[in-house]
Structure 1
Amino acid sequence: MYNETVPLKSETFSGVAAKSPVSQCIKTVLRRACVEKRLTIGLLPAIQYLSNNCNGALFCLTAEAPPGDSATHMHEVLLQAFCVENDIYVIKVDSQEKMRRLLGCRSQSVDFSCVLVHFPYTDPFTDSQEIDLSVLTEAERDLVDHCENTWGYSQMPVIKLPEK
């Protein structure tokens, strides 16, 4: 489901981050989604993915744009508004470099300012628009709970990701 081929570290996944700090949940969710090929990496690929499939993303993780980069900032604001309108949880993180390292990408040319985490597989033959939360991992459910608790905040909290 990648919209862009990104060389990421291949590994098996068995971690559980239930009831851990939000940053550890994010780490667990990103790594599992990577292994399951449920990520879209990069601001423009994320916008392209959402323009064709606005119900396919569970989380949109964004890192703050560098100071003075008003064009990227405007894209991010519009993307976040779109996500909120379409019930996609937006999570602001402190560093795209940390997201790059968490996913094991060595290439500096890949844009990690935005990472979409897609829903786990759902049956395409059902007409239901409701999301079956039972298919989410415990870490994903914990992250959903965190997002629900911060949904109405006027200033979105920035989550400090772990270094590794």
Structure 2
Amino acid sequence: MYEDSVVPVKAETFSGVAAKSSVSQCIKTVLLTACVEKRLTIGLLPAIQYLSQNSNGALFCLTAPPGDSATHMQEVLLQAFCVENGIYVIKVDSDKKLKKLLGCDIPNLDFSCVLVHYPYTDPFSDSQEIDLSILTESERDLIRHCESNWDYAQMPVIKLPEK
């Protein structure tokens, strides 16, 4: 079912750090930058726990194909929560590629969901607006991509690079 929804994304190019790159390369740049800056939550349950405490702290939620029906139901609820709270949901084609991309070799770590947090959020601020100037070019490019696909009934699944 999930594989059937993998659709080619428009051959757009982006202006960010990964200049003239595809959406998948832009995702790679965003993930690696966030990893270095320790702005990731990896795993479905840790993501749900993080968002239950801090619904304004996440910028992107990347999801990979679910392993079973119970996980699928949790992912659907998480995606609905993210959309309701203005968190950009990006579906990717493989949790194994996410794991490889991040260079993590921790056994039994769930890569079906990865949250990318904002670079900085003021916990005392009541403002829902985020200062886009603090985001990297790749993050802004990825936001533009997500907003261009925001109204589609079915989000496209992005094929991540093999390396």
Same fold flag (TM > 0.5): yes
Letter in 1 for 2:156: P
The 1:65/1:16 distance shift into structure 2, 3 A limit, reads same
Pairwise CA RMSD: 1.3
Q: Is the 8 A contact 1:18 1:142 kept in 2?
A: no
TM-score by length of 1: 0.86
Higher deviation after alignment, 116-125 or 90-99: 116-125
Number of equivalent positions: 148
Please name the residue that 1:112 is paired with.
111
- 2:38 aligned residue: 37
Match of 1:141 in 2: 140
CA distance in 2, matches of 1:125, 1:155: 35
Shift, 1:125, TM fit: 4.6
Q: In 1, are the aligned partners of 2:90 and 2:158 still within 8 Å (CA)?
A: yes
Percent identity between the aligned chains?
Answer: 80
1:58-137 maps to which residues of 2 (within 5 A)? 58-66=59-67, 69-137=68-136
Gapped runs of 5+ residues in structure 2? 1-15
Following superposition, the deviation at residue 16 of structure 1 comes to 1.9
TM-score (norm 2): 0.87
- Unaligned ranges ≥5, structure 1: 1-14
Q: Does the 8 A contact of 2:60 with 2:90 survive in 1?
A: yes
Q: Secondary structure at the match of 1:92?
A: strand
Contact 2:57 2:121 in 1 (8 A): no
| 1:49 alignment counterpart | 50
Runs ≥4 in structure 1, deviation > 3 angstroms? 122-127
